[in-house]
């Protein structure tokens, strides 16, 4: 189930532009996860925009929205 729901494991199936956001005041690990995911999408040649919000504590809902869109794209590409 983890494999099926992991956006990182199905980047090749993404068909929509991805926006990854994170707040500069987030934990270092959350910032790293966001940057890593954006880099994976970019390396795969997919359109991605990484946005760092300098004074934000949490933008997780935007990040989760991007993940949800990626998961939806994967499901619909099968």
pLDDT digits (tens, 9 = 90+) for 38-60: 999 999 999 999 989 887 765 55
pLDDT at 3 over 60: yes
Residues 38 and 67: beta-carbon distance below 8 Å: no
Give the start-to-end residue ranges of the domains of the chain.
2-76
Instruction: Compute, in degrees rounded to 10, the torsion defined by CA atoms 47, 52, 56, 62.
Output: 10
Q: Between these two residues, 46 and 74, which has the higher pLDDT value?
A: 46
**Maximum average pLDDT range among 17-26, 35-44, 55-64:** 35-44
Whole-model pTM over 0.85: no
pLDDT at 8 over 90: no
Q: If pLDDT is split at 50, 70 and 90, which confidence band does 36 have?
A: very high
What's the longest Cα–Cα distance across the chain?
39
């Amino acid at each position: 189930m983890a494999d099926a729901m992991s956006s990182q494991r199905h980047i090749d199936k993404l068909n929509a532009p991805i926006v990854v956001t994170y707040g500069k005041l987030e934990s270092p690990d959350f910032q790293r996860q966001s940057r890593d995911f954006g880099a994976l999408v970019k390396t795969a040649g997919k359109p991605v925009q990484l946005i760092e919000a300098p004074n934000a504590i949490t933008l997780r809902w935007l990040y989760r929205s991007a993940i949800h869109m990626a998961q939806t794209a994967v499901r619909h590409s099968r």
